[in-house]
Amino acid sequence: MLSVTYGVFRMKGTLARTVLYSHLMRLRPSRILPLVIFLAACGGTDADTTSGGEPSVIDTDRDGLSDDEEKSLGTDPELPDTDQDGVDDGQEVELGTDPLKVDTDGDGYSDGDEVHAGTDPTDATDVIYVGGWPYNRDKDQIQDPGWASTAEIGARLPHYTAVDQYGDLVDLYDLVGQPVVLDMGTKWCQPCKHMAEWLATGDTTPVQEYAWWKPEYAPIREKVTSGEIIWVTILFSTNEQSGPAIQQDSADWHESYPNPDIPVLADTKLELYDYIGVKSYPAMSLLDGNLQFIAYSNSGPFKALKALSEL
């Protein structure tokens, strides 16, 4: 009842208050005009309504909800964003999201991320990435060195977007925060397939035959599964004539070697292929949490695997 009353109080303008007061006070029509004049003289904003002489609409944290409304909702009247999800309490009430829950629809993306990305924070079927990959609201602030920059230790990966196994356009600048493996290969490359088999099943038998494999690399897969690192597989070609990969290749690869934690991207414009300067495959590099190269290679997985095992 209290919040309904305040909801009325929050209606803009003197007229709304006049209607309310005249109703509450059961005024005769002849008394309404003096009341309009009195309320207008009192200032006419919606923050100074009086009832019984007490201030009734105070919004201490200026989040659009009065302190009393916040009391009834259970939100903090002195904190605009009670659940710290990036959406102020007042806006959450307007959107229909829960001001006390970071991820209202439980789809893995916070209310703030969904509002920023433009997906529906109250619909669990509307997600930023079907694959559940991370999202970074601040990605526009990352300094992009551009494709003319050189791939080398310490350099940041240029801003790269590519389509994944589900058809989503993945922005690698969303993946800041943890090390990122760039595992580049082709769909006919045998060692790439064997690596993917290991990543899908956890069985190291397919990779043990290679000179680059060491038993201490086996726990790397656990780090991928736990989200400690993000392994990104990038397919750049569909055939020996180096035609660029297409989205169907990503979908097929994921079907053959499913690992729910690995985005499989198609380098449809050969942007990453040219930037890395791939000479043989798999060509694996490792980026740190700021997407800067810890290990760079245009030929083979040796350096990245070694760096990964030393993380």
Q: Are strands 230-235 and 50-51 parallel, antiparallel or unpaired?
A: unpaired
Which residue, 98 or 267, is less far from Ca ion as judged by CB? 98
Number of residues counted as binding Ca ion (CB under 5 A): 15
Shortest Å distance, C-beta 66 to Ca ion: 6
For Ca ion, which residue of 9, 61, 180, 276 counts as binding (CB under 5 A)? Answer: 61
Q: Please give the torsion angle defined by the CA atoms of residues 263, 180, 238 and 242, in that order, rounded to the nearest 10 degrees.
A: 160
Min separation Cβ 206 and Ca ion, Å: 37
Interface with Ca ion in residues 40-59 (CB under 5 A)? 59
Place of tokens 């990038």: 234
* Closest approach of Ca ion to the CB of residue 241, in Å: 43
Binding piece for Ca ion, criterion CB under 5 A, among 34-42, 61-69, 192-200, 257-265? 61-69
State which of positions 80-99 bind Ca ion (CB under 5 A).
81, 83, 85, 87, 97
Decide: is 39 part of the binding site for Ca ion (CB under 5 A).
Answer: no
Q: Which two tokens stand for residue 210?
A: 């290679």
Report the C-alpha dihedral over residues 74, 79, 84, 85, rounded to 10 degrees: 80
Q: For residue 261, how far is the Cα from the chain centroid?
A: 15
Shortest Cβ 93–Ca ion spacing (Å):
10
Name the DSSP class of 243: P
Element (H, E) at 94: helix 89-95
Shortest distance in whole angstroms from residue 2 CB to Ca ion = 14
Strands 54-55 vs 50-51: parallel, antiparallel or unpaired: antiparallel
- The terminus-to-terminus CA distance of the chain in angstroms comes to 57
Please report whether residue 68 would count as binding Ca ion according to CB under 5 A.
Answer: no
Cβ closer to Ca ion: 72 or 256?
A: 72
**Nearest to Ca ion of 30, 125 (CB atom):** 125
Nearest to 47 by CA among 25, 68, 66: 66
Q: If binding is defined by CB under 5 A, does position 262 make contact with Ca ion?
A: no
Binding mask 102-131 for Ca ion (x = CB under 5 A): -x-x-x-x-x--x-----------------
Asked if 161 and 169 count as a contact pair (C-beta separation under 8 A), the reply is yes
> Is residue 76 involved in binding Ca ion (CB under 5 A)?
no
Of 164, 178, 180, nearest in space to 254 by CA: 164
- Indicate the residue whose CB is closest to Ca ion: 111
CB nearer Ca ion, residue 11 or residue 311? 11
Contacts of 165 (CB under 8 A, 6+ apart): 131, 250, 251, 253, 254, 263, 264
CB of 64 to Ca ion, least distance (A): 7
Instruction: Please identify, using beta-carbon distances, which residue of 137 and 306 lies nearer to Ca ion.
Output: 137
In the complex, the smallest distance separating the C-beta of residue 39 from Ca ion, rounded to whole angstroms, is 23
Phi, psi of 53 (to 5 degrees): 85, 0
Task: Tell the smallest beta-carbon distance from residue 4 to Ca ion (Å).
Answer: 17
Indicate the residue among 78 and 209 with the shorter CB distance to Ca ion. Answer: 78
Distance CA 173, CA 222 (A): 23
Where on the chain is the footprint of Ca ion (CB under 5 A)? 59, 61, 63, 65, 81, 83, 85, 87, 97, 103, 105, 107, 109, 111, 114
